[in-house]
Structure 1
């Protein structure tokens, strides 16, 4: 059973008026209790159910459906141009994203301030962060949610308009608060990474990310190899504005060459058995 299919079945089994237990879901779906608990935790972090002791409850009005052709979750809500829904993105290349996210943690140290841009790989990174005295500015609602229980992490969320599919807040106007924020590092994903630089497909997203980059001393791009030379129409920044790219073993030799030629540190994150198990298809 594919992960997205299992998530749909889990939410379909839930009731807004009572707790559906882990044991019930285990019996109905035929998977291990550990898998069910992990799914419930992830779906809770993504805002698709309410996790309670021993099980979960449906959130009124939440439904999880799949497009017949694309086989990705379909949310008919406001969205950015050319961007997949956040939930759909979390499913694609999940083991690789876990490996990249884990490698990104090596660039953290207690006490630093950082910007974590919205996206599925940056969300995975935030979900792995320890409870240390960091200051995080993020545009991502899921990242905010997963950091709520880390009492030592100070979180700043800029104001703006909510884009529900991508679960991010963007502001088309100058933000006075942002002008006063200074970050040692910015962690950012992308639609594509090409010889023309870091690319996206929505003008508002481009404007927001350019402003965020101005506030960071170091820009670290988290991009699995499927993003290298992928199609995208709008440039956020040239390669020379990027300090580090963390990607996977699918990166070609030629792509590594032009990245390093631009002065970028390229970090390859190998996928482990633990990464595959955490994103397993059962």
Structure 2
């Protein structure tokens, strides 16, 4: 077996198990300890693993995120985001006051809005543009500094403006969701999200399954601060248990565009 094949096999093993050690590599691929050690060194040089005492693990911290345009047109998650957006829109009542953060999943929700008379506050220039085409929707765009790559507004002025508002519902996208809470790569965006959460009666998180277990630099909020999670797939048992322990209402969006409502998560706690 070539080294490249073993390296792939090691990563596949780590995708299913929390840790691998020299002895396991020797057994799996029938190689010497020296060969197994060289494979681990190679993977560490590539940044694919972290060597720890007695073995190696996959890095738990995600430090990269695609830019807004790439995420918006990601074919792997486009349909999931549309389904989540349709289901989120079904929670609206005419006249609701809303906060929307700068998430591509929340952008899908904004496109799905069919109700009227909303007042919407957002820090997303793209969502603000989308909502200008909606009938009887008033848009308040936060002021401040624009992040050119991810197209959100942040900074002291944005926080100051947010403190002047209070709304019925916050629809919130996230970079990652783990048993520890909501994650974000950028601390300055996290500050805006934290303030948004203080300004809403109900907090609704929109996150497709690729966000599950994704740990990033900045922890924005604990799961106990979330009221509803709308997603496209059941979370794994550890995350699901943590959500249920914090009384989060988990709702699964049906994939079909003709479907309406939600599928309740199995064994979900009733609120």
How does the TM-score come out when normalised to structure 2?
Answer: 0.68
Kept in 2, the 8 Å contact 1:172–1:207? The answer is no
- State the structure with bigger RCO (CA 8 A, min sep 6), 1 or 2: 1
Distance 2:231 2:207 in 1: 5
Q: Does 1:117 align with 2:105?
A: no
Q: Secondary structure at the match of 2:216?
A: coil
Distance 2:67 2:103 in 1: 10
Indicate the residue corresponding to 1:196 in structure 2.
180
Q: Secondary structure at the match of 2:224?
A: helix
Which one of 150, 155, 162 corresponds to residue 134 of structure 2? 150
Distance 2:208 2:89 in 1: 16
Which one of 126, 132, 143 corresponds to residue 110 of structure 2? 126
The 3 A distance-change label for structure 1 pair 163 and 245 is same
Distance 2:139 2:158 in 1: 20
Kept in 2, the 8 Å contact 1:249–1:270? The answer is no
Indicate the residue corresponding to 1:84 in structure 2.
66
Aligned-residue offset at 1:250: 4.7
Kept in 1, the 8 Å contact 2:159–2:195? The answer is no
How does the TM-score come out when normalised to structure 1?
Answer: 0.65
Within-5 A mapping of 1:242-253: 242-253=226-237
Within-5 A mapping of 1:5-24: none
Aligned-residue offset at 1:273: 6.1
Kept in 2, the 8 Å contact 1:110–1:133? The answer is yes
Distance 1:207 1:189 in 2: 14
Kept in 1, the 8 Å contact 2:144–2:158? The answer is no
Distance 1:131 1:252 in 2: 34
Indicate the residue corresponding to 1:215 in structure 2.
199
Question: Paired residues, what number?
Answer: 195
The 3 A distance-change label for structure 1 pair 82 and 243 is same
Kept in 1, the 8 Å contact 2:93–2:115? The answer is no
Gaps of 5+ in 1: 1-80, 276-282
Gaps of 5+ in 2: 1-62, 260-271
Indicate the residue corresponding to 1:266 in structure 2.
250
Indicate the residue corresponding to 2:125 in structure 1.
141
Q: Which has the larger radius of gyration?
A: 2
The 3 A distance-change label for structure 1 pair 272 and 151 is closer
Comparing 192-201 and 123-132, the one that deviates more: 123-132
Distance 2:234 2:250 in 1: 13
Indicate the residue corresponding to 1:102 in structure 2.
86
